């Protein structure tokens, strides 16, 4: 790929040798001659002789852009934007009454239960299990070995990565000569444009539904319990755990390993920093950290006092 082609994709301005061709795309510390890298700081050292950054770099060729991270997004999307070829593998198992548009792709060893509805352009990966009555919208991608159980409804353009389980029984028991499971008869609703990472578990509602709002992005290894309601455009990072019946607003960010107790309400635009434990409801537009989670500024002041006289 020529540097001039890259500039068109990332919407930037070429500098240096316009005839340059790109070898590999690598991080600054790994790149060598002929490779392309992204520099958030134009002064950062790299052996790459082709760079995408915010200003011209002496002795190198590249593309000047306003935002290197957005340029990375555009270029990588362009390079990986391969269309899914439609077709139903003869080695898949399709139940009765399944709605499958011609443009769908069902890969080998996928199992599709009775009365499943799948939208146009959706791909079900190899070894996936889609239970009876599940509804999946248009343009979705369900990656290999994922399991989607009954009473689950998935919107349009949802991506679910490998080994994720949606709609399993929640963790609900009563104590009676030991513990007896409470049967969960609710479902799961995943709205449009949600992305769910690998090895995520989203439990069905006990009664009623567990809901994931439009545009929310969920990292790998996240646990979402029964009847949780998550708003629009939230970010849930790795190893977040949310206990049952908690309601989370819009544009909330839960950083890595945050734990949220049950039956709480988290307001809109809240940020909870890594390894925090939210044990009571919190209002909108604030940042929290610590165990138990308190306003982040309060935690920082407490830490400053604690270590004031430390060596």
Q: Is 305 helix (H, G, I), strand (E, B) or coil?
A: helix
Nearest to 257 by CA among 296, 221, 303, 293: 221
Determine the Cα–Cα distance for residues 267 and 256; give it in Å rounded to an integer: 19
d(CA 143, CA 140): 10
Question: 91-105 burial, b if ≥16 CB within 10 A, otherwise e?
Answer: ebebeeebebeebbb
| Cis ω for the linkage preceding 212 (within 30 of 0) | no
Quote the DSSP letter at residue 99: B
Q: Which residue out of 143, 184, 226, 296 is catalytically annotated? A: 226
CA distances from 156 to 63, 162, 192, 251 (A): 35, 18, 5, 20
CB within 8 A of 162, min separation 6: which ones? 125, 143, 144, 145, 146, 198, 199
Alpha carbon of 300 to those of 277, 288, 290, 304, 311: distances in Å? 16, 10, 10, 6, 18
For residues 224 and 221, what is the distance between their CA atoms, to the nearest angstrom?
10
Supply the DSSP symbol for 178. S
- Residue 145 a catalytic site member: no
- Contacts of residue 123, defined as CB under 8 A and 6 or more positions apart, other chains included, come to 84, 104, 105, 106, 107, 140, 141, 142
Q: How far apart are CA 194 and CA 198, in angstroms?
A: 13
Instruction: Determine the distance from the C-alpha atom of residue 277 to the mean position of all C-alpha atoms in its chain, rounded to a whole number.
Output: 21
Q: Active-site positions? A: 226
């Amino acid at each position: 790929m020529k540097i001039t082609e890259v500039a068109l994709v990332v919407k930037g301005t070429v500098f240096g040798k316009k005839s340059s061709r790109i070898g590999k795309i690598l991080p600054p510390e790994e790149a060598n001659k002929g490779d392309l890298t992204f520099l958030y700081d134009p002064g950062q050292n790299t052996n790459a002789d082709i760079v995408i950054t915010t200003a011209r770099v002496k002795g190198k060729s590249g593309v000047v852009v306003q935002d290197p991270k957005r340029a990375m997004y555009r270029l990588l999307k362009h390079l990986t934007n391969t269309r899914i070829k439609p077709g139903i593998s003869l080695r898949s198992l399709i139940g009765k009454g399944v709605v499958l548009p011609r443009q769908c792709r069902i890969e080998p060893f996928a199992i599709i239960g009775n009365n499943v509805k799948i939208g146009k352009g959706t791909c079900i990966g190899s070894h996936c299990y889609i239970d009876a009555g599940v509804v999946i919208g248009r343009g979705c991608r369900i990656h290999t070995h994922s399991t989607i159980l009954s009473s689950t409804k998935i919107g349009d353009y949802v991506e679910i990565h490998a080994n994720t389980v949606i709609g399993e029984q929640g963790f609900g028991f009563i104590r009676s000569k030991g513990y007896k499971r409470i049967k969960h008869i609710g479902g799961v609703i995943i709205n449009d444009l949600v992305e769910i990472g690998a090895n995520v578990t989203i439990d069905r509602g006990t009664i009623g539904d567990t809901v994931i709002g439009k545009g929310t992005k969920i990292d790998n290894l996240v646990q979402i319990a029964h009847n949780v309601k998550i708003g629009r455009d939230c970010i849930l990072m790795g190893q977040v755990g949310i206990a049952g019946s908690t309601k989370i607003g819009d544009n909330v960010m839960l950083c890595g390993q945050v734990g949220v107790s049950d039956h709480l309400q988290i307001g809109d635009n809240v940020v909870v920093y890594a390894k925090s434990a939210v044990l009571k409801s919190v209002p909108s537009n604030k940042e929290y950290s610590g165990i138990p989670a308190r306003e982040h500024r309060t935690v920082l002041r407490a830490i400053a006092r604690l270590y004031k006289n430390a060596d």
